[in-house]
Structure formats: C-alpha cells, structure tokens
Structure 1
Amino acid sequence: MAKQVTVHEALIYVMVMISAADGKMPEIELKRIGQMVSFLPVFDGFEPDGIIAVSRDIQEILAGPEGMDIALEIVKDTLPHRLHDTAYSLAVEIATADLHLDATEIRFLQMLRARLELDKLTAAAIERSAIARFRRAG
C-alpha cells in the first residue's frame, strides 16, 4: 500500500519537481525551497528538517515508470482545490529563483497548470507577480 502524502509533502513535491525538471537542482533553488517551507503560513506545522526525506520520496517516484504522471496525480489528489493556485505559485517561485526559465521548466509549469485545472488568467497573474518580484533595478 502506498504511503499517504500530506498537503505539506505534496507542496514540497511540486517545488522539487520544478527544480529537477531540467535535470539539475541548483543550490539557489534548493535554498529557496527551504526558505519557503520555513516562513510561508501554508507550511505551519511542518518541520523543515523533513524536506530532505520528502525530496527523496518524490525523486524515487519520479525515477519510476510514468513517474511524472504519477507524481502530478498524487499532488492533484492530495491538495484541496483551494491550494491549487498555491502549488502553482510555489512552482513558479522556484522556477524563477535562478532568474532563468528553460524549456523543461516551462513544460512542467504547463503540465502542472493543466493537471490542477488552473485557468489561464490565474496562472498569468501568478507568473506576472513572480516576474515583478525578481526584476532587477538596473
């Protein structure tokens, strides 16, 4: 029987999946995951020390046959609808942490948006907000 995934774990799954989408997990993205788990209210009650174990769990799922599909289905099944935009926002936040989006990260965001059934306006607002937050002054 498969382990029951918590809401916190599903949100971390999303962040790890976007970080690993391009085949590498840059230090800046890993740091951002830790920062977000430490201060965002959605992670209240989750011990940040558990991030490594959750990251290993999702990496194990992704390594299996149809891993990405299974992982996205776990996320969708675990998260209440009201947290779908939160999950997408977390993914965008991690993807933009290194100030570069590559094709695999864009593709993952498209898959996540479709799986979570987010409308285009909501997704665009989240994406635009990330662009504004990470813009440089000069």
Structure 2
Amino acid sequence: MPSKLSQHEALVYVMVMMSAVDRDMTDDEFARIGGLVRFLPAFDGFDENELIHIGRECATQLAAPEGLDVTLEMVREALPQRLYDTAYALAVEIAAADQRIRNEEIRLLQLLRDRFQLDKLTCAAIERGAIARFRK
C-alpha cells in the first residue's frame, strides 16, 4: 500500500475522485475544489500550491490495480472519524458543482457512505444542503 496521506491530502483525494469518477473533470469542478481549499477551516495550513501535485498523485493511485478500493481505504485511514462527514460533504459539493449528478457520482457517494459508515440521515442532510446551494 502507498504511503500514508495527510488529512489535507485525503480530503483533496475525495474531491479529485468525485471530479474524475465520470471521466469528465469540468472547469466548474476544478474551480469548486480550489474555492473549497481556500475557504474551509478543514484546510487551514494547507499549501494551495500542492493541489495539482496531489491531484496527479490521486489520479495515479486510481489508475493502479484495485485503485479505487485502495484509495478509499487510504482516505479512511488518514482521516479522523470526526472528518468523515466533512469528506462526504466535499464529495457532494464537487458532484453538485456542474449541476448534474451522474450515476458514477452516485455510486462513489454510496461507496464513501459505506466506507465511512455514515448514517443515512446525515448524508441526506448534506445532500439536501447542496441541492439548496446550487439551485438556480
């Protein structure tokens, strides 16, 4: 298994996975990732200049054999339990950024929910909040 991720790297990995899962990483998704990294307290102390490098590392990891499963486990191990719902919320934000949720994105959200053992009510609240934020 590859080296351990930092908390910041793990959160970026979640966003990159969500952006890449449909094989169409949009400008809206990239802009959203950058905005979240700059704005959220979970990224305090994070060097924004590392974002592209971390994104490339994540893409390499995902392309490896059993890449998605290994990457999900790396993320889970890097995050304290108190940040599981934060990671899920970041994934939802990226999925909603282009204002259309694809089946691949829904499946990744299910995998994250299961890996983090998040309850359905918490996930529903996070998802509903994203719907409200992105509504036109």
TM range, smaller chain: over 0.9
Q: Which residue of 2 aligns with 1:26?
A: 26
Q: Distance in 2 between matches of 1:77 and 1:40?
A: 21
Partner letter of residue 24 of structure 2?
K
- Output one character per residue of 1:92-137: Cα deviation in whole Å (capped at 9) or x when no partner: 000000000000000000011100100000000000000011111x
Is the 8 Å Cα contact of residues 96 and 134 (structure 2) preserved in structure 1?
yes
After TM superposition, list the pairs within 5 Å mapping 1:118-137 onto structure 2. Answer: 118-136=118-136
Number of equivalences: 136
Q: Distance in 2 between matches of 1:9 and 1:65?
A: 21
How far has the Cα of 1:24 moved from its partner? 1.5
Q: Which residue of 2 aligns with 1:100?
A: 100
Partner letter of residue 109 of structure 1?
L
1-10 or 89-98: bigger deviation: 1-10
Q: Which residue of 2 aligns with 1:62?
A: 62
Q: Distance in 2 between matches of 1:132 and 1:4?
A: 35
Question: Over aligned residue pairs, what C-alpha RMSD do you find?
Answer: 0.9
Q: Distance in 2 between matches of 1:90 and 1:18?
A: 9
Q: Please tell me whether residue 42 in structure 1 is matched to residue 24 in structure 2.
A: no
Q: Distance in 2 between matches of 1:57 and 1:40?
A: 22
Partner letter of residue 43 of structure 1?
F
Q: Distance in 1 between matches of 2:2 and 2:135?
A: 42
Q: Which residue of 2 aligns with 1:89?
A: 89
Identity of aligned residues (%): 57
Which consecutive residues of structure 2, in runs of 5 or more, have no partner in the other structure? none
Q: Distance in 2 between matches of 1:2 and 1:91?
A: 22
Partner letter of residue 24 of structure 1?
D
Secondary structure class of the residue paired with 1:28? helix
Task: Show structure 1 runs of 4+ deviating over 3 A.
Answer: none
Q: Distance in 2 between matches of 1:74 and 1:34?
A: 22
